Amino acid sequence: MQTGQQIGLLAKRYLKVDLPLQVCQSNSGFFIGTIHPTDGPYSRESAEYFPDRDSAEHALATGCWTQLEGYDI
């Protein structure tokens, strides 16, 4: 559970930018991540993929999601 988290921790740790968490979409489904205003998708922060946008929005709003620990770079 990520209550109170407002920025992407992986984006900050690995990419050195403070970007707000938001619901993103990929071919695998919806997830919690960050998007850079000019560079597009930046980081996937949630371990989970959600079946629809509403589920992902609910998880983000309530903090009921799991933060990924790192990237395989």
Task: Determine the pLDDT at residue 3.
Answer: 52
For the chain, the straight-line distance linking the first and the last C-alpha, in angstroms and rounded, comes to 25
On the question of pLDDT at 2 being above 90, the answer is: no
pTM: predicted TM-score of the whole model, two decimal places: 0.85
Taking residue 67's Cβ as centre, other Cβ atoms within 10 Å add up to 14
Task: Determine the pLDDT at residue 8.
Answer: 95
Residue 44: inside a domain: yes
Task: Determine the pLDDT at residue 10.
Answer: 94
- Sequence-separated (6 or more) residues with CB below 8 Å from residue 51: 29, 30
Nearest to 56 by CA among 69, 68, 46, 41: 46
Task: Determine the pLDDT at residue 4.
Answer: 61
Number of domains in the chain: 1
Contact 44, 65 (CB under 8 A): no
pLDDT tens across 9-62, in order? 999 998 899 999 999 999 999 999 999 988 888 899 999 999 999 999 999 999
State the residue range of the domain holding 19. 9-62
Residue 68: inside a domain: no
